Structure 1
Amino acid sequence: MNISDQIVLVTGGARGVGAAVVRAFAGQGARVVINWRASGDKAEALAAELGDRVMAYQADVADRSAVEAMVAATEAKFGGPITTVINNALDYSFNGDARSVLTDIGWAEMESQFSTVVRGALNVIQAAVPGMCRNGGGRVVNIGTNLFQNPVVPYHDYTAAKAALLSLTRTAAGDLGPKGITVNMVSGGLLRTTDASAATPDAVFDLIAGMTPLRSVTTPEEFADAVLFFASPWSRAVTGQNLVVDGGLVRD
């Protein structure tokens, strides 16, 4: 299915990477839902900026009933089922100096990340799959991180949740492939600059840029381009994969 024909749900779509992904899909003519939990002003402003083919909807992706209501509202608004899901919802600040070290981190911190990243993705996939099946197939793109290949800063809770999401990506690809649904992951490094990375010192950005073959830190817009690939017809034979988009910093 061409991107212009798709109905796309972007979780955590009001800011940062999510907003860049929303703009990328809208720029290709897709109908897009900006899911938000606590960034209502930004979500509504982005929807107003992009026009009638974009809507904002509040839902905590960890709440299955709220997700099901969002999926139903999307179908009512756009007259068809969601074809494409981007699991991007995240509540995290990348500040190495303020992170919890392994000897001190509590399970509540771990559980918080798993609830949004893994439970949220599972809720959204399960709610969207019936509509995808009625439509003859679909696309799921999960947003990951290069930190489990290159844990330069040990964000234990965030990295563990994203590693679990990669596992879910690969197992879901096996279950959903016969239904014509592909499931892939796009993993970034530190992006310059999002709300989540705003606390990162410039010296860290510069250090990372110097270690990449491109000598630059990936932008949210560049990252969003790779998400479009996995939603496009050109990726129709690709599933269960993890594409690292970080300027070549991680190459394995």
Structure 2
Amino acid sequence: MSDRIVVVTGGARGLGRHLTEAFLEAGARVVIGYLSSRDAAEELVARHPDRTVAVRADVRHRDEVQALVSAGRERFGAPVNVVVNNALVDFSFNGDARPSVEQITGADFARQYEGAVEGALHLIQAALPDFEEAGEARVINVGTNLVQNPVVPYHDYTAAKAGLLALTRTFAAELGPRGVRVNMVSGGLLRSTDASSATPDEVFDAIAAATPLREVTTPAQFADAVLFFASEGSRAVTGQNLVVDGGLVMN
């Protein structure tokens, strides 16, 4: 993937770090978007000084997201041609601590919508001029299998990811004639990331027992699917949602 210049939001820690490292291992150049993980981002840049740049950006603010794309262009001298919408705003996968139907508020939904849907909108819009110059590009949105199988009812998070799935399909329809493929990779509970660190072991074990593969998906396995959508192997694929969860959800 030496021809890929990739922006990964939330790319310094958790799942995002695995995605960043997978792209780097495959030969891509990566813009690492981060919000609060400056040290982790700078550590990645120190390890890969020629193929990374780290930029602080809150995906909820369009001007900060624009800086991600601009930094990639300036650092690597070519247009950004892959964006990965991975950033997760203020969320922990702890079923015991989640708000119930009686407790959840509209503000909870709005917070997750801003991060997942508006954040993706900001990055895609910011990258469109680069996409046009590149002649083809890839958008990869990070979703969840909870949309199909809400085994734990994280109401706000799941609703926001459902909105992101709709954006994936409608943007794929409009951007396809411009050579832009837009797809989603939806994981189950991943073992483990920062967001899933609060999940009890018995929950992981129960999910593993329910999958045909009898295992919980790892961040590295999830990253493999993201790289597929960034590669030439997916050149005829757009508007799709690939569920990567060991077969727990079958489409």
Q: TM-score, normalised on structure 2?
A: 0.98
Q: Map of 1:123-202 to 2, 5 A cutoff?
A: 123-202=122-201
Deviation of the 1:113 alpha carbon: 0.4
- Equivalent in the alignment of 1:246: 245
**RMSD across aligned C-alpha pairs, in angstroms?**
0.8
Q: Secondary structure at the match of 2:2?
A: helix
- Equivalent in the alignment of 2:103: 104
1:158-183 CA distance string (max 9 Å, x none): 00000000000000001100000000
* Runs of 5+ unmatched residues, structure 1: none
- Equivalent in the alignment of 2:63: 65
Q: Secondary structure at the match of 1:184?
A: strand
- Equivalent in the alignment of 1:47: 45
Once the two structures are aligned, what percentage of the paired residues are identical?
A: 62
1:89 to 87, 90, 109: 87
1:210 aligns with 2:209: yes
* Runs of 5+ unmatched residues, structure 2: none
1:44-94 CA distance string (max 9 Å, x none): 112222332011110111101111122112101110111000000002100
1:28 aligns with 2:21: no
1:15 to 13, 16, 31: 13
Q: Distance in 2 between matches of 1:149 and 1:201?
A: 22
Q: Distance in 2 between matches of 1:21 and 1:69?
A: 20
- Equivalent in the alignment of 1:5: 3
1:106-165 CA distance string (max 9 Å, x none): 111111101110000000000001111111010000000000111011000000000000
Q: Secondary structure at the match of 1:5?
A: coil
Letter in 2 for 1:247: G
Larger deviation, residues 221-230 vs 100-109: 100-109
Q: Distance in 1 between matches of 2:40 and 2:219?
A: 16
Q: Distance in 2 between matches of 1:19 and 1:153?
A: 25
Q: Secondary structure at the match of 2:246?
A: coil
Q: Distance in 1 between matches of 2:202 and 2:43?
A: 32
Deviation of the 1:29 alpha carbon: 0.7
Q: Distance in 2 between matches of 1:128 and 1:235?
A: 20
2:208 and 2:216 in contact (8 A); partners too = yes
